[in-house]
Chain A
Amino acid sequence: MNAHEISRRSFVGGVTATAGGMTFGFHIPFDANPAHAAAGAAGAAAPEINAWVVVKPDDTVVIRIARSEMGQGTLTGLAQLVAEELECDWSKVTTEYPTPGQNLARDRIWKDFGTGGSRGIRTSHDYVRMGGATAREMLKLAAAAEWKVPVGEIVAAESILTHKASGKSASFGQMAAAAAKIEQPKGVALKDPKDWKIIGKPMPRLDTADKTNGKLVYGIDLKLPGMLNAAIRACPTFGGKVTSFDAAKVKAMPGVKYVVQVGDNAVAVVADTWWRAKMALDSLPITWDPGPNKDLSSAAIKALLTEGLTSDKDVFVGNSSGDAKTALSGAAKTVEAIYSVPYQNHATLEPMNATAVWTADKCEVWCPTQNGEGSLAAAAKAAGHAQNKCDVHKIHIGGGFGRRGSFQDYVTQAVLIAKQVPGVPVKLIWSREEDMTQGHYHPVTMGRMVGGLDDKGNLTGLHMRISGQSILSVVRPEGLQNGKDPVVFQGVAPNDPVKPTANEHAFCYSVPNLLIDHAMRNPAVPPGFWRGVNVNQNAVYVECFMDELAEAAGRDALEFRLALLGNQPKAAAVLKAVAEQAGWGKPMPDGVQGRGLAMMRSFGSYTAALAEVSVSADGKLKLHRIVAATDSGYAVNPKQIAMQVEGSFVYGLGAALHQEITIKNGGAVETNFDTYPTLKLSEMPKVETIVMPSGGWWGGVGEPTIAVAAPAVLNAIAAATGQRIRSLPIKDQRIRA
């Protein structure tokens, strides 16, 4: 059997099958039956101490991870949290995913599986650590019972239990079976952060080795016995439907087994191999009903948003203090600027895919997902079965960035296809073209900024008008607040002056007269959560405009910002950190023509960036150096944070410099990386990351740095050229006059 081939038992037996004893090339989907669950992943030989911790007789510690690893390092970070409290030997730690079906069967014992919003650690650190601490206490209680000594005299360290007075000791593995039978103690105290030995350390990732030799199985690699492969095409016009297709034209092509409609808007070919399915799909005549959006274009969307910049219609206030309009009309000097940010596709390098097998009484899915519970719900709905008759096996993810969380369209499609081929596992893979044109895109917005300065150059009033698309109104309308989409105001939300870290998306600057509002304008292009979400464009608007205001006031861009950050000392601290390290105010290194700053608070963390750039006479941009600072409160793994910061510049600058989804005839124009270019290694400068955890709260790290990447570079370009870019992406705009 191939490493990536699953034994037939795993799905023929369905969700009640015992997974023990099977050897897969990836995490074993362990037993879903709660009656068997106490026996743990590898059967009776590996006792489950509690839901989070399994200790095998050979002392291997299996830590259960509910959130999804997609490159951001959460698997390692969450394991560090459990291991810290468990007092286990880090070298013995492995991980596995419980399935959402098991979570359902056990009353959501692992709580939320959702992995987005940089929430993996910051919304689960307490109960995950408690899982480790409780398991440790159970091991100690078991030892105390066996040795007949007080539990308080037992020390657990490095996977060894020791009783000094009697000289007794046992490994966790030796005591695990007894510990599994102990009733879980309540209210175990968590360690004081000053005593952490694993949290806060740059532990190597637990999942690297198999990523260097091709052994790691991604969803797209899955292979089941008897499996067929499906290629799909959905209507290229948003909101359009299938009118008809001529299956007879391709039925005789090599390998083709079935041609099926999927929902009302897609057609799939099922064949022995995916390549043959795709070949047949490319030859399949399909007629589409393009529906109501067939005339939608980028120009029409721009007109809609431009109208919203000055309109009073469908406007929602997200943050206000004082009287901004009066302050602006009475200002000694006003500054105005209009910015725009386009649609972006996630473009995960592993395209959407899912494998499903459906029978009349159950359904199983294997897929990369940022939200296993969401995948289960989508699978059950498409299958027409109750959720407890279905399960989802999470497979390692080749990039998520928000695409595979709230949107389970690929799971729905896989199940709808599998349902038409009962009992046969079908793997659906989207082509890159499908992935680009069936996205849930970073929403399009424009920002109109008007600032008022007094005669001393102080900012007395600010009006920020966001015009554009609301994600929640399409994706989660129940999250709207009297029509207002609070997500639009990420990074510019009201500040809590008493507790500056309280609002994870607070606008950090204190402006006496402030108005931040949103003219909701929703084009019929599917919007989605895209790594960094609305902070990204809000940071461009705020942080570029801060530079424009400072320039108009004749003040230094750093000093101008710091003067407004009296209520947010941690925001000031990250700014000062990058400025100091880069030598702000001092002569620039050879070849550098401009420096730019940016700062933002988002997803609970404070981030700042400083970029050094040059622009050649013919307008070619070169990034020389980036200095970035992050204060995430606690820093679970500083090395992972550095990796997320580095990667955030690639993702954020790829968007700012190169990428745009344009709309024509109601669909996405760009279909592949030739027209949607990403940032390349050759463009990437060195990144100096300052991880400066000040403690006391838990901030995210996967997204916050994205937002400061673009404005830092745009401000540096303006410093270098005297010319300001306000419309993204830079793409083919001339950046030096």
Chain B
Amino acid sequence: MAQLNVNGKMVQVDADPSTPLLWVLREQLDLPGTKYGCGIAACGACTIHIDGRATRACGIAVSSVTAQQKIVTIEGLSPDSSHPVQKAWLAMDVPQCGYCQSGMIMTAAALLAEKPKPTDADIDAAMANICRCGTFVRVRAAIHSAAGTSNSKG
């Protein structure tokens, strides 16, 4: 039985120790906002925060996360979609199919927590998430909008 701190709540999970955190979140904790895209930490659709750092949940065994570590998923980023990244995403209509966007938003939120005024190079380095619809132009613009920085590629 694993104990996890997810979105501010302590939860008990009965999962095989090697189960990736992604599938514990999706299948056992009913938090399907974190998406499966590749299973090899290549696409970023499963990005969550562990102690504030953007982390790909498909590549982490549930047993390697301690009860002291704070896990935040897209469902817990804000209680009412009021995180500046979420607001910028809505204002700029960033998503297309939307499937990658939980991961995009979590990655962007972690970037801004670390670098409140990111440069385009910072955004290039952080936002390695795959988006097949191709929302990148608006992802970049929305991050700049949330940060109040200027877009050299806009």
Contact = CB atoms under 8 A, between A and B. Distances in A.
Contacts of A218: 35, 99
Contact of A274 (B27, B30, B40, B154): B27
Nearest to B88: A212
Interface range on chain A (Cβ under 8 Å from partner): 35 or more
B55 interface: no
Interface string B114-148: 00000000011101111111111111100000000
B71 interface: no
Contact of A678 (B31, B81, B86, B132): B132
A254 B16 contact: yes
A672 B28 CA distance: 26
Nearest to A254: B16
Interface string A672-684: 1110001111101
Contacts of A679: 134, 136
Nearest to A255: B16
Contact of A216 (B19, B34, B98, B132): B98
A420 B40 CA distance: 31
Contacts of A217: 32
Nearest to B135: A647
B113 interface: no
Contacts of B2: none
B154 A686 contact: yes
Given A212-B81, A349-B43, A651 B97 contact: no
A212 B16 contact: no
A273 B78 CA distance: 28
B37 to A, nearest CB: 5
Nearest to B91: A204
In the complex, which of the residues B36, B95, B133, B139 has the most CB atoms of chain A within 10 Å of its own CB atom? B133
A51 B69 CA distance: 52
Interface string A386-411: 00000000001111110000000000
A165 interface: no
Given A223-B30, A401-B132, A673-B130, A211 B77 contact: no
A213 B86 CA distance: 7
B96 A643 contact: yes
Interface string A631-655: 0000000010001001111110000
A211 B102 CA distance: 7
A683 B104 CA distance: 16
A686 B153 contact: yes
Interface in A213-249: 213-218, 220-221, 223, 229
Contacts of A681: 123-124, 127-129, 131, 136, 139-140
Interface string B45-81: 1000000000000000000000000000111011001
Q: Majority SS of interface residues in chain A?
A: loop
B81 A209 contact: yes
Contacts of A646: 134-138
B89 to A, nearest CB: 5
Contact of B38 (A220, A279, A432): A432
Contacts of B23: 273-275
A202 to B, nearest CB: 9
A614 to B, nearest CB: 15
B9 to A, nearest CB: 15
Contact of A672 (B38, B81, B125): B38
Contact of A399 (B20, B99, B124): B99
Interface residues of B, number: 60
Contacts of B42: 672-674
Contacts of A527: none
A321 to B, nearest CB: 37
B30 A2 contact: yes
A713 to B, nearest CB: 15
A685 B73 CA distance: 30
A73 interface: yes
B1 to A, nearest CB: 14
B100 interface: yes
Contacts of B139: 681
Interface string B4-24: 000000000000100110010
Contacts of B95: 71, 205, 208, 211-212
A351 B39 CA distance: 11
B96 A647 contact: yes
Nearest to B101: A211
B57 to A, nearest CB: 12
B68 to A, nearest CB: 24
Interface in A171-218: 204-205, 207-218
A354 to B, nearest CB: 15
Contacts of A673: 37-38, 40, 42-43, 130
Contacts of B98: 71, 207-208, 210-211, 216, 396, 398
Contacts of A351: 36-37
A678 B105 CA distance: 19
Contact of A639 (B86, B90, B93, B154): B93
B144 to A, nearest CB: 12
Interface string A333-354: 0000000000000011111000
B99 A349 contact: yes
A643 B81 contact: no
Contacts of B140: 681, 684
Contact of B136 (A216, A273, A684): A684
A570 interface: no
A213 B81 contact: yes
A665 interface: no
A275 B24 CA distance: 9
B132 to A, nearest CB: 5
B128 A680 contact: yes
A643 B38 contact: no
Contacts of B131: 349, 650, 678, 681
Contacts of B100: 349
A674 B131 CA distance: 15
Nearest to A639: B93
B63 to A, nearest CB: 14
B133 A214 contact: no
Contacts of A209: 81, 90
Contacts of B89: 208, 211-212
A687 interface: yes
Contact of A70 (B31, B34, B97, B105): B97
A510 interface: no
A72 interface: yes
Contact of A682 (B31, B75, B96, B124): B124
Given A432-B38, A672-B38, A686 B137 contact: yes
A273 B138 CA distance: 36
Contacts of B134: 646-651, 679, 684
Nearest to B86: A212
B132 A212 contact: no
A6 to B, nearest CB: 13
Nearest to A5: B30
A274 B16 CA distance: 13
A459 to B, nearest CB: 34
8 contacts: A212-B81, A213-B86, A218-B99, A275-B19, A349-B43, A431-B39, A643-B96, A650-B133
Given A254-B16, A397-B97, 9 more contacts: A4-B30, A208-B98, A212-B94, A212-B101, A349-B37, A646-B136, A650-B134, A650-B136, A673-B40
Interface of B: 16, 19-20, 23, 26-28, 30-40, 42-43, 45, 73-75, 77-78, 81, 86, 89-90, 93-102, 105, 123-125, 127-140, 153-154
